A = this chain, B = another copy of it.
Amino acid sequence: MRKALDLAEKGRGYTSPNPVVGAVIVKDNLLLGEGWHARFGAAHAEVVALSQAGEAARGAVLYVNLEPCSFYGKTPPCVDAIIQAGIEKVYIGMIDPNPNVNGRGVDKLKAAGIGVEVGILENEARELNKGFNQYIRENRPWVTLKLAVTADGYIADITGKSQWISSPDARAFVMQERTRYDAIMVGIGTVMKDDPSLLPEKQDGYIPYRIVLDDLLNIPYRMKLCSDDFRKRTIVVTTQTNKNKKAGELQNTGITVIPAEPDDFGWIDLSSALRKLAELGITSIYCEGGGQLAGSLMTQKLVDELQYIIAPKIIGEGIFAFSGFMRTLDEAIQFAWQQPVPLGPDVLLRGKLR
């Protein structure tokens, strides 16, 4: 199953809004076939593994991180292929939350006399497809909010300087994380201040979408997100549906511009923006700031995971990690820390918000 999870990860970024899936076929301690869902619309992991195993699959065991599908989508149901191949037992990481499957795959396998065991490395399987799971359940992407802060909680010093609060090790971790999400997201303030490219370290493989929340459609054309070679992977979200000229010009260069509903103050309504992004097939977002966006996402309960990178530095006063709200301790936003992880001189604290 560990191997199936690793294989699944190879599809990361190419399968959305489908889940990532890996499958392994074993008989008498021999690996007969392996496969992963390589991109949206392509063959499913199970089918790839089965065709690799061929006739040898008869009487073999199948490991797959997600329940095999039981319906006709872009491809025929995997359960039929599994039954036909003569697989004897299927080990499954987690049930597919997609209402079209949701246990029916398991039922069909059992009805065909195949042994089924569900829940093998289930936590890892859920973590692997946290975006997909959320997308199916709530029709909005999973949002991880990353913040690099000083020990006294500031994301920048009073001059606005934030490079580099965290260490090279922490930045390498962030680069790695970027490849594990469908999109990276920042507010327009961060773009104006830092002109980030939001790219992963290696640019010859998967490039996540880069989302800018730009209420007033103010983003200058010269910014990297609008002018670099990957601008087809840039999405600008705005409330300014009447700035047709600018939107058109951005779109002509390959950038996607999507209109979002305004909230009561005229700013982007974040819930509706996330739903719109889900419609584009984006199931998971890595949000990299700044304080305004972090504060808004937090108070609107739109953060699923917090990644807090804490540097061993104290500056006394600086730019708040979360701006725009103030609560008493009784009303504090609460969450649960996971096991802390040292990142070079820094410490990574992950918080799960639900």
Give A residues with C-beta under 8 Å from B.
149-154, 156-159, 161-162, 164-165, 295, 298-299, 306, 308, 310, 312-318, 320-337, 339-340, 342, 345-347, 349, 351
Contacts and interface: CB of A to CB of B under 8 A. Distances in A.
Contacts of A349: 151, 310, 340, 347
A317 B308 CA distance: 17
B153 A328 contact: no
Contact of A326 (B164, B317, B321, B326): B317
Contact of A322 (B314, B322, B327, B347): B314
A154 to B, nearest CB: 7
Nearest first, the 10 A-B pairs at minimum CB distance are A153-B153, A340-B340, A313-B332, A316-B325, A317-B326, A314-B333, A315-B327, A157-B328, A157-B329, A316-B326
A14 B164 CA distance: 46
Nearest to A155: B152
Given A312-B351, A313-B333, A314-B335, 4 more contacts: A150-B153, A310-B349, A314-B327, A316-B327
Contact of A340 (B154, B295, B306, B342): B342
B351 A345 contact: no
Given A152-B321, A308-B151, A321-B152, A313 B342 contact: no
Nearest to A346: B337
Nearest to A328: B157
A329 B312 CA distance: 11
A157 B347 contact: no
A163 to B, nearest CB: 8
Contacts of A310: 310, 337, 349
